Amino acid sequence: MKPETYMVIDGRHDHSFRIPRPDLSVTLGVPNACNACHADRKAAWAAAEIRKRYPEPKPGFQGYAEAFAAADRGDPSAAIALAQVAANLDEAAIARASAIERLARAPSETTILAAEAGLDDPSPLVRQASAAAYDVLPPQQRKAVIPLLIDPVRVVRMQAARTLAPLADDAVGEEHVPALRAAGEEYVAAERFNADRPENRVNLGGYYADKGETVAAEAEYEAALKLDPRFGPAWANLADLRRLQGREADAEATLRKGIAQVPGVAALHHSLGLALVRQQRYAEALAELERAVKLEPGNARYAYVYEVARRDLAQR
């Protein structure tokens, strides 16, 4: 069997592979077992060989590739296919959870219906993804997640606490406050365990920001930047926190500092463009929004916002 090298130094011979689907390699560009060995041949050759030897080939047990590919390229029609994957108990739990995660990237009624069904799923992966999907809703509409605060699996409880963080105790209900606090403590402890990484400090910052603890949130974002000044999400989140505090000039300055550190992060240019729009500096804003699109051409949201801004500026 073809060897693979893991973690740079760990060479292993994989003694298994899934049913080869070179036809999907042709249409979607995904890898397949045939060409892993026959690297000198094209996927179309492998697909033809499979068809020649097996005129009625089995399609394999994974039926989510097309749905995921459509979602990843921003196709609006992907929502129904993703919902079908999420509801199909014959699919692997990780695939079903991934389908819900992708649905949440482009929120719709389909997203919430799939997430609502997933809250009671046998798999903790699906329950966690379903709870996270409720983040797309306003805080007062997330109460369906409350029962997961006492889920038997810690990662699900932690996600429930994260999703419900913006809700005040009285909104959750007095009887649920102890569970909310306990799950919140579990979430914070898990992030603190990896507090030497900027990602986890940013996670903590977001949690505290949603709870309205802005001083703690700002401290976590700044700690993340001390660990890694080139970590773009920390700059973006810190700037957004300052915007929410009404510190628009500070938010702009933060974004410009971030761009000086990591000029290739599209999110920072996009956020700076929005900051300049709020200040009615439209020509400067358009340049930043365009820069974000060029850096991340596959981002449908960036493209949409830039196009709206461009048309609006043309009419002024």
Question: Within a domain: residue 231?
Answer: no
**In this predicted model, what pLDDT tens digit does every residue of 25-34 receive, in sequence order?**
999 998 888 9
Residues 74 and 114 in one domain: yes
Residues 38 and 83 in one domain: no
Residues 8 and 46 in one domain: yes
Residues 81 and 49 in one domain: no
Q: Is the pTM of this model over 0.95?
A: no
DSSP string, the chain: --EEEETTTEEEE----PPP-HHHHHHH----HHHHH-TTS-HHHHHHHHHHH-SS----S---HHHHHHHHTT-TTHHHHHHHHHH-TTS-HHHHHHHHHHHHHS--HHHHHHHHHHTT-S-HHHHHHHHHHGGGS-GGG-GGGGGGGG-SSHHHHHHHHHHTTTS-HHHH-GGGHHHHHHHHHHHHHHHHHTTTSHHHHHHHHHHHHHTT-HHHHHHHHHHHHHH-TT-HHHHHHHHHHHHHTT-HHHHHHHHHHHHHH-TT-HHHHHHHHHHHHHTT-HHHHHHHHHHHHHH-TT-HHHHHHHHHHHHHHHT-
Question: Within a domain: residue 8?
Answer: yes
Residues 275 and 298 in one domain: yes
Residue 16 has pLDDT above 80, yes or no: no
**In this predicted model, what pLDDT tens digit does every residue of 83-128 receive, in sequence order?**
999 999 999 999 999 999 999 998 999 999 999 999 999 999 999 9
Residues 68 and 133 in one domain: yes
What's the domain count of the chain?
Answer: 3
Look at residues 105, 137, 169 and tell me which one is the last residue of a structural domain.
Answer: 137
Full residue range of the structural domain in which residue 115 is found: 64-137
